[in-house]
Amino acid sequence: MTSHSEKIIILDFGSQTTQLIARRIREQKVYSEIHPYTLPLDELKAMHPTGIILSGGPASVYDEDAPISDPQIFEMGVPVLGICYGAQLMMVQNGGRVEKAEKREFGKADLTIDYTAGLFAGMETAPSHYQVWMSHGDRIEDLAPGFTVTATSDHSPYAALRHKEKPFVAVQFHPEVAHTLIGNDVLRNFIFGVCGCKPEWTMHSFIDATVKEIQDKVGKEKVICALSGGVDSSVVAALIHKAIGDQLTCIYVNNGLMRSGESESILNFFNQKTSLQLIDVNAESFFLEKLHGISDPEEKRKRIGFGFIEIFEQEAKKLGDVKFLAQGTLYPDVIESVVFRGKAPIKSHHNVGGLPERMHLDLIEPLRELFKDEVRELGLELGLPEQAIYRQPFPGPGLGIRIMGEVTEERLHVLRQADVIVLEEIRNAGWYRKVWQSFAVLLPIQTVGVMGDGRTYEHVIALRCVDSIDAMTADWSRLPYDILGRISNRIINEVRGVNRVVYDISSKPPATIEWE
């Protein structure tokens, strides 16, 4: 991790909104990290946190296997904010009592503020009422010694608390969610008023610190970077090139699974607009051969992934003695791989599965502290044009996982034509930047249709268009009917072999954004 003079450490107890806490704090230009509640005390102390936040979580503090952080946190002399479960844990570890509530509070609640300082500094003269978001089945029954109430709700006599002498504060509601109308004010009062932070964490300061860190780590050695043309790899390449210049070589592998004209566009952009050393590898026939006869989605992913590794190894050997591999791991990947979420991590975070181990390269992951929107901000700060920064996400396996069933040249041709129409119409309607992703999927079925008074039996295209912030959750986009109608009419009329178009209206979860 890059060093930061001021940081708020969030200990995660399993809340689905813990990431939002970090995002809200970073929006105030203060650096924040999320760690599991099991973080050892000596490691926490070594981070020199300016403040600590105990997140919410689904457990009850009186459960036998309740997640419990080290109580010596309260002996560190550092400000602590407890949120929901974190507030209840703060009470129990300091001598208070928590019990199951007679009436649970889930959803909007009316908060009555009785103390307009500390977390509620700048609020209206007490008593004042604000909408907050509650999500708890337990409640604090007895305050720990030294604590006093600062706000109440209908079913929580201790909806917010403060210690009379120490910098400990707690709220039973969730300030990180949009439904809590004073949420940003509460977090701002904690990080600036209670912790005394300054708003100094910017993309400019991040660049300066990261460039120095890369230079110190790499020295005079060579670095290679897999460049896909996507936002993450483009920003990684630009950042590392700023640090070490020609010691970086980027490798672009055309796997034949890109969208129409995309490989040419990516290569033209990087060759004409940047001074990166770029190796272009055309491997279309190589990947089609690997995918011949394969319809299982996991097998397709594996074959595409291992194909990249094989080619990447060959190209790296040609460059001689390479010590480092750069890749675009983002913060949500890191969080999901290590942070408490029930009993197991959601997933491991290596973007190029197996590559570092097989090639014996040290990893450089300069984006591993950032969320997607922060990566885009970083790219703009580095001088990358908006066309590179605001591209919609495109999966590593490319169209290989947007073709249900076997991948063939004929099916790729059909999907590419349909995909061009989707993106053209989405752009023309002004929706490209409004949605997270919009694309076509070729289904493994054919349906009966009528064209020119004749019967047809042809392919089906599914449209997938979703709204999201960081792809961890997503909802289907409510596109106007006239846009959907134009896309459908154009695909059916212009793409030979397609006679039906459907629209995917499932959210994530339970569905995923991609179909495979």
Give the Cα separation of 92 and 18 in Å (integer): 21
Please state whether beta strands 454-467 and 498-503 pair in parallel, antiparallel, or not at all (unpaired): parallel
Residues 6+ apart with CB under 8 A from 83: 15, 21, 53, 54, 55, 56, 170, 171, 174, 175, 176
* 282: three-class secondary structure by DSSP: strand
DSSP-assigned states of every residue in 199-228: S---HHHHHHHHHHHHHHHHTT-EEEEE--
Segment (H or E) for 10: strand 7-12
For tokens 């490209």, the residue is 432
d(CA 145, CA 148): 9
Length of the chain: 516
Catalytic residue among 6, 105, 176, 374: 176
Catalytic residue among 6, 84, 136, 262: 84
Torsion angle, CA of 289/293/295/297, rounded to 10 degrees?
A: -30
- Bridge partners, 170 (sequence order): 82, 161
Q: Which of 136, 174, 241, 349 is catalytic?
A: 174
Lookup result for tokens 């997270």: 436
- Rounded Cα–Cα distance for residues 52 and 70 (Å): 12
Residues in Cβ contact with 457 at an 8 Å cutoff, skipping those fewer than 6 apart: 446, 447, 448, 449, 499
Distance of alpha carbon 177 from alpha carbon 183, whole angstroms: 7
d(CA 89, CA 96): 9
Distance of alpha carbon 232 from alpha carbon 240, whole angstroms: 12
Which residues 6+ apart lie within 8 Å of 63 measured at CB? none
Q: How many CB atoms lie within 10 A of CB 430?
A: 9
In sequence order, which residues have a C-beta less than 8 Å from that of residue 362 and are 6 or more positions away? Answer: 323, 324, 325, 356
- Three-class SS of residue 104? strand
84 catalytically annotated = yes
Conformation bin of residue 42: beta by default, left when phi > 0, alpha when psi is -120 to 50 = alpha
262 counts as catalytic: no
Question: Catalytic residues, which ones?
Answer: 84, 174, 176
